[in-house]
Amino acid sequence: MTITIDQARGKIPVTILGIQGDLDASNYQDVIDQAVQAYEGGTSDILIDMSEIKFMSSSGLVALHSIALLMRGGKVPDPEHGWEAFRTLDRDRESGVQEHVKLLNPQPQVDRSLELTGLKQFFEIYTDRETALDSFGQQGD
């Protein structure tokens, strides 16, 4: 897996977290760590480019949820607590659409995982990069 970090600007500055390869138990913590570094560096809005993720396991879902928690100023679940991360995800799904984390172009298999777990309603999902970038900083964000 490869992770890239880029900066872009729509109405406001947005960090683009690009992920290439599978997102699974072997690397999900790397994705979270990159988001933490970006957050600590001043990032408040992240667009996760999923166009090059062919497979995402349940650990990948935890990574997405952890990034959403982080961008809301919350605490990232400790991976040492195992299933607690999944319980946190399940409880938080009802909190509504995330304002500071959005997803770009998940591939069909990944999109299906988001649908089956209910996370498709948790994140705004875009297929066009410019539209996604412009969606940040709108009224209500």
Nearest Cα neighbor of 61 from 98, 23, 107, 94 is 23
The count of other CB atoms within 10 Å of the CB of residue 101 is 24
HEC-encoded secondary structure of the chain: CEEEEEEEECCCEEEEEEEECCECCCCHHHHHHHHHHHHHCCCCCEEEEEEECCCECHHHHHHHHHHHHHHCCCCCCCHHHCHHHHHHHHHHHHHCCCCCEEEECCCHHHHHHHHHHCHHHCCEEECCHHHHHHHCCCCCC
Q: Which superfamily does 2-135 belong to?
A: STAS domain (3.30.750.24)
**Higher local confidence (pLDDT), 113 or 89:** 113
How confident is the model at residue 76, as a pLDDT? Answer: 82
Sign, CA dihedral 48-3-57-59, equals: negative
Q: What is the mean pLDDT of the chain?
A: 88
Does residue 115 have a pLDDT over 60? yes
Residue ranges of domains in the chain: 2-135
Question: In terms of pTM, does the model score above 0.85?
Answer: yes
Q: Cα 75 vs. chain centroid, distance in angstroms? A: 15
How confident is the model at residue 95, as a pLDDT? Answer: 65
